[in-house]
Amino acid sequence: MLGAFANAFRTPDLRKKLLFVLLIVTIFRLGSQVPTPGVHVANVQACINQLEEGGLYSLINLFSGGALLQLTIFALGIMPYITASIILQLLVVVIPRLEALKKEGQAGQTKITQYTRYLTLGLAVLQATGIVALARNGALLQGCNRDLLHDNGTQTFLVMVITMTAGTAVIMWLGELITDRGIGNGMSILIFTQVVATFPASLWSVKTSQGWVTFAIVMVIGLVLVAGVIFIEQAQRRIPVQYARRMVGRKMFGGNSTYIPLKVNQAGIIPVIFASSLLYLPAMAVQFNPDSKNPVLDFINRYMVGGDHPLYMAIYFLLIIFFTYFYVSITFNPVEVADNMKKYGGFIPGIRAGKPTEDYLSYVLSRITFPGALYLGLISLVPLVAFAMIQANQNFPFGGTSILIMVGVALDTVKQIESQLQQRNYEGFLR
């Protein structure tokens, strides 16, 4: 492992890319600590220290590396871009024009990326407006009576919204710089950076509040979870594909064999984000009507806020399973795959081309999606169960979302470094 690191930094172009990524990550983290103009920094810090971590904005705060509740210029983090990307992926299936763009190749993908940027800025304006409005009304950090802003004027409000929106645009630019001139996917690396940034404080809070025994238990649970996530993330079903020989002019093409890799976790982290976002809606409705005597809001406040009630856990688990099947169904089209195989003379051994191939792919996909959905549901319940049983911390450091992001991005980045090392006849990280 150490030899692979040494080889990576010994290669001039690879060393340049790695140092460039480190530079961008450093700039990104510095921006996450710079407060937005108009924020009363001392009062914000006092409120954060006074209140428990987690709560309604825990997922967004996680993706911002803790910058959201501190109201920094990068307070929105990468969340608007994630939401915009998910929305565009769903719209590609629904809107024929977008589906046609996707089939156009690189030119169409560039156009879809441009639409994603515009949608990201629109969502950033909406989210920034909501967050600043909550901060101005004192509802962002409930239970704290301090003023989070120096003044509640319209000018300060607009400056904060514009600054946070501009911060989101800068984050998109930094992510694209990493993708173009660095190693790995830029947006994924920035998400990884923000998630990892919250770990030291979360672990230390477990130690200070619960002692060394609970801290050791949390570390053991975390290591077991990381090992399990690595195993599942690497697991895949390889469907063999054979291509028939065909003569084009005087040349013979085809005759080779390959495979279609179907991952057990085909949906990634998207179902967890979907389920979390959907469950935030009723909790947000309660927050905007805290004194309401409505029985529906009272039921939501009792069972759906906090995340430690069995009913909340059950609904969360079922939503993750549903969204896993839903997302896999729209991202992997057996009909399209079967048609492409037939077009280029490919077939699965023992399965006829056309409709039988489509049915076989659908059958295999449904079989491997079920354990993948259970895996996502169980991993996502870990922080909720931990908080309910050992009272570690509501912002449990080894939460399912955190582990899925860290392991997935780390594996992808290491594989890319590995491929570049092997091109230069070096041994890589993966032996």
pTM: 0.78
Confidence check: pLDDT of 291 > 60: no
Task: Please tell me the predicted confidence (pLDDT) of residue 166.
Answer: 92
In a domain, 415, yes or no: no
Question: Average pLDDT in the 298-302 region?
Answer: 70
Output the pLDDT for position 393.
47
- Considering only CA atoms, which of 109, 334, 133 is closest in space to residue 239? 334
Mean predicted confidence (pLDDT) in 149-168: 88
Task: Over range 395-401, report the average pLDDT.
Answer: 63
Q: What is the pLDDT of residues 410-427, one digit of tens each?
A: 888 888 887 777 776 655
Higher local confidence (pLDDT), 344 or 301: 344
Based on the fold, state whether residues 219 and 156 are members of the same structural domain: no
Question: Is 343 a member of any domain?
Answer: yes
User: Domain range for residue 65?
Assistant: 1-197+424-431
pLDDT 10s digits, 329-362? 888 888 888 888 888 778 888 888 888 888 888 8
CATH number of residue 325's parent domain = 1.10.3370.10
Verify that 135 and 254 share a domain, yes or no.
no
pLDDT score at 170? 92
User: What average pLDDT does the chain have?
Assistant: 78
Q: Report yes or no on 417 lying in a domain.
A: no
pLDDT digits (tens, 9 = 90+) for 241-250: 887 766 666 6
| Same-domain status, 173 and 221 | no
Query: What pLDDT sits at residue 118?
Result: 92
| pLDDT tens for each residue of 61-95 | 665 556 666 788 888 888 888 888 888 888 887 88
- Do 75 and 101 fall within a single domain? yes
Give yes or no for a contact between 268 and 191, defined as CB atoms under 8 angstroms apart. no
Query: Cβ contacts of residue 159 below 8 Å, gap of 6+?
Result: 36, 37, 38
The predicted pLDDT at position 163 comes to 92
pLDDT at residue 141 greater than cutoff 90: no
Q: How many domains does the chain have?
A: 2
Per-residue pLDDT for 49 more than 60?
A: yes
Shared domain check, 214 and 140 = no
pLDDT of residue 428: 58
Q: Which residue has the higher pLDDT, 46 or 155?
A: 155
